[in-house]
A and B are shown apart, each in its own frame.
Chain A
Amino acid sequence: MLMLSYLLRFQVTDEKQNSAKLTDLSVALLDADYPNVTQMLFLTSENKSMRLDWSAVKAIDPKRRKILVEDLNAAAECVPDEIRGDVLLKHDVLDALILDLLNRRTTRASDLLLEEQENFGLRLRAVDASFGAMVRRVSFGYYKRINEKELYDWKYVEFLRGDPSGVENGAGYRLRITRLPVGEIAQLASYVPYLHAAELLTLLPDPQAADVLETLPIERQVQIIEEFSEREAVKMFELMAPNLAADLIARLHTATMKRYLERLPKKKSERIINLLRYQEDTVGGVMTNDMIYASGDLTVAEAREKLREPLKEPDFVELVFVVDDETSRRLRGVISLRQLLIEDDDCRLEEVMHPFVQSLNPDDSAIDAAYRLAGTQLNAMPVTTAEEGKLVGVMTIDAAIPLITPATGGMQGVRIFS
């Protein structure tokens, strides 16, 4: 086990007695739970920065602080542009902000623990964020104590450089953070600076990134979406729930918003546009228009078949709205998902539905509607037009909660139905 602070005082020597000062180590960060050191960077006596594959290492001597390689001259010169793609332990990781997943918080990597492997390989094993680590750094390694209990296993650490354009979209599918629930990822994303959060979202698989983005405070959403390329941003809007996408897209510059709306698939952009027609403080401004409906004439079995595809997309699927027919969409009643599964196959929907359904008007005040919804103890109410009773959306309880309760730490309220 070697601490980076100690390792950085080493000299690199070869069999011909040449010597150079070790300056940094590069790692293949996303390749494994404990990334391997791939290259070393050192400074020659002429002050030239060179890099050499770690496979050239023949021996490591901790006592004399030496690393033995075959031939120092086999090293290549270090071009600054090349370095950009690598992750360097001293330049990038040391002192950087890291996410400690076990404790769900951020901390700083004051020192790094490297583990020796066979054939003198080294891999990054743990982070030391303790006060002792800072003392060790300042004392140039003379203070040697390592408190095992204060080390963070690298497997449960996420490291972000703060450079969203420097990472490949979706490349972090192996990251442990992807296993956390969306709310916790969003919480962690709100602890780090916005560029780091943007980088994190770029690394996540798209659907998960969209879920996390939706959950962040709206100002943070705006900061992050502006860091994305147009293609990535459009993808996010495509995957977000339409009402939340509408909230975010409304905050962008009109020209940008228009461009994104035109690039989205037609169905999706129509949904968002239709929500944008309503003012923020109305039911239309908080409802979602992504709901499941079926004609009352269908039998339960037919409905189950027909709805198989539509059921895949929306967030809210608990209620299936029963309508006259697909075009006029006059609301007749509602049937729960449970009923769809247990009712007799041959009954028609209009026989088993609950016919007395209260509904909201899209121009009603959102807060009044929120109280009304909370009072009915239902988890959602349909939104219909005043004249024709046409189904245009549904207001769910999780949209109502933020309107009645004070803000819950800035997050976009409790997400029950997504």
Chain B
Amino acid sequence: MISAGDYSALLTTVKLASVSTAFLLLLSIPLAWWLTRTQWRFKFVVEALIALPLVLPPTVLGFYLLIMFNPSGFLGSSFTALTGSNLAFSFSGLVIGSILYSLPFVVQPLQNSFESIDRDILETASTLGANSVDRLVSVVLPIAFPGLVTASVLGFAHTLGEFGVVLMIGGNIPGETKVASIAIYEHVESLNYTEAHTLSALLLGMSLVLLMLVYATGQRVLRR
């Protein structure tokens, strides 16, 4: 019912979404916590940069990433020096692109739930001997757990639907960078409507289930 190529594209998609979400959480938790706590005057600059992918055409983001991934560019050359492989048209490159592309979808729900935590609770934890990192792990994350679920699911689901950025930096290498959205595009181009239907229905179902999970946790999804 589903071809080996399409199966591999789906697998790449899920792998990409999982790896990106893991990195996104590692990056976004400290970032959102810092945004919640900082008194820095120019924090709005950081917030605007994070929110940029919400409004930017994915092709623009993809174009700049492609330039940076160029083996003669700074990011591309340091990556090659470190790992011996190329960033452009690689799975690692896709992960970096996805992290940037889905960042606002993870940072914003986290920041929302961090900001709603009562100051007294955190100060109580301090008086009981918890330093800043300890407070984050032992108090903030458990209280913000629904926000954490929302952030992970949104990050995952948004990466599933990624198309523009992948098209620019990923190319079309089966088993490596060919994701489901690209496969659907190709099927339509070559008039293979049956395959396009199957893959589209699968993506639709997965996204719907994931979004239902978000709303079921009863959280405000995004602050726009």
Mutual binders A and B = no
A→B interface (CB under 8 Å): none
